[in-house]
Structure formats: structure tokens, C-alpha cells
Structure 1
Amino acid sequence: MPTLTRIAVGNPIHAIGRATQVLKKVYNVNYTTSYTFNLAGEVDTMTYPSGRVIKQQYDNIGRLSTAKNNASGTQYATSVTYNTASQVTGFSYANGVSA
């Protein structure tokens, strides 16, 4: 069973700190997911162990609006909608299916 073995924190954006890398070791193989943050402290990019980079974009009040492949531009989630409590009420997948 996969277990989290270490969270490396470096160059935090806020005084409370942000994990910039998460290392998971599965059957003696290390898998690292890296994060960058914008000036508002929101996740800007996530880099998966495969090297795929996901770019997140936010609306003017800091809510996630899109998530896309940084290299190809393929959008994985768009048209994110929220209720008055800022809870996600729906979004569209890249294939046009809405949730």
C-alpha cells in the first residue's frame, strides 16, 4: 500500500509555509509532485511525477476557474460555477461533459 514518506517544504510563499514538493515512495520507487504558487498563495502549477504540468487559473476573488495542461493548453476543467458560499456547484470536463 502506498504511503507518504516525506513532505519537503522549501521557499514558502506565506509565513505559514506551503509544501513545494510531496514525495511518495511506493515499493521503493520515489514519486515527487511539485507545486508553485502565485503571489496570492494559490497553487499556480502542479508538476506530476510523469512531468505533466497542470496550470490552474483563478477568478478575481481567488476561486479556481480552469485547470489545463501547461504544455498543450488542453483544458481539463472549465466553466467552474459556485454557490454563494463559494462551494463548487459544477464544471465542464475537456470532453464537454458537465459535472
Structure 2
Amino acid sequence: MKTVTANRLTDGRVIYRAATGAWTTELADAARLDADEADAVLELASGESHIAVGAYLIELAQDLPGGQKWRREGIRLTGPTTGSTHVQATA
């Protein structure tokens, strides 16, 4: 199962292509696409550069990002990480 994701042109927010053909910020509302329809929907979405930029397909597993890039998509879904794992030495 796949869906189309991109970034909204106006504010950079992560968006997903809904089954209605509209864009949504909610992964739960994203279209669930099989292999036969995924490329066609991606092509339509890529033509909407006035709304969304950088459209691409992601794998879904149990309604969450899956596949090899699941961690990246999880971060995109929940927002930027904060803080640092680096400890700065004090003088």
C-alpha cells in the first residue's frame, strides 16, 4: 500500500493526497493506493506545483509510514526533532 506525499507550497507543511484528489495534512485521510494506481496518482499530484512541491510515493504499513524510509517519514509526519545528541564541552 502506498500514498503520495509532498510539501505545501505556501508554508512547507507536509501534505498527503486524499482519495478525493484534494490535499490533506492528515495521514489518516490520505489515499491508500495499490501498485496499479500509485504512479498515475503521483503523476497527477506532480502536476500541481502551484499547491504542492516535491511529490513522491511512500510505503504504508498498518496506516503508518513503512518501507525503508519509515523513520524519515515518521519525522516528517510528527514534525522536526529538537535538541541535540551532542554534548558541548564547557571551558
Q: TM-score range by the shorter chain?
A: under 0.3
TM-score by length of 2: 0.24
Relative to its length, the structure with more helix (as a share) is 2
TM-score by length of 1: 0.23
Relative to its length, the structure with more strand (as a share) is 1
